[in-house]
Amino acid sequence: MFAIVLAAALGNNPIATFDTTMGAFKAELYLDRVPRTASNFIDLAQNGYYDGLHFHRVIPNFMNQFGCPHSKDPKSSRAGTGGPPDGTFTNLATGKEETRTGGGNIQDENISKDSNKPGTLSMANTGRPNSGGSQFFMNVADNSFLDWFSPGQSKHPVFGAIIEGMDVVTAISKVKTARDNPVEPIMMKSITVSGVPAKDEV
């Protein structure tokens, strides 16, 4: 555990590789800035939670949303409404236990002023405090109006940034849709995370 804390302190953040049916891309996860949020994502990814889910909402010049368990069926009318099971996970920066409650939600981590710029990963929520769980979105435009520290109701903390394959993310945002849902389903085959211990080593 000390090695992970040290890595975070040095800014040597984990890297997530997203393998989709439209191609792959990689993102740095901000474990050093928003450890609870990044650790939640890493835990879900390591458990295979995201494998086989589909992008359920894509809007050109805005963002791609993903991570709802109901999107296993790409045409489910419930896609966009679900979250992970309640439970616990380890904060990889502090070693402390964190909880998911009330439908798999984590506590908001509005501590790092990283803006919703193109290429960033940001937590989706219902608009209420502490309502983020497994869903997140990839910004393909400057969406700073969604920053938790901006005026207005939308509060979406950034927890990572794409470092490779932004062309894939942009292409996903431009596919043909019906009510923002891709006509041809786009599946996440797997998400793997490097730079952190394997699940059984935490």
Residue type at position 17:
T
Structure tokens at 72: 């296993």
- Amino acid at position 51, single letter: D
Contact 69, 53 (CB under 8 A): yes
> What does the alpha-carbon distance between residue 161 and residue 148 come to, in Å, rounded to a whole number?
17
Active site residues: 57, 62, 65, 125, 137, 146, 156
End-to-end Cα, the chain, rounded Å: 7
Instruction: Please report the beta strands in 75-176, taking only residues with DSSP state E, as ranges in sequence order.
Output: 87-90, 97-100, 120-123, 136-139, 158-164
The token pair at 39 is 């650790």
CA angle at 108 for the pair 173 and 39, rounded to the nearest 5°: 75
Say which residue the tokens 């805005």 belong to: 62
Cβ–Cβ under 8 Å, residues 121 and 34? no
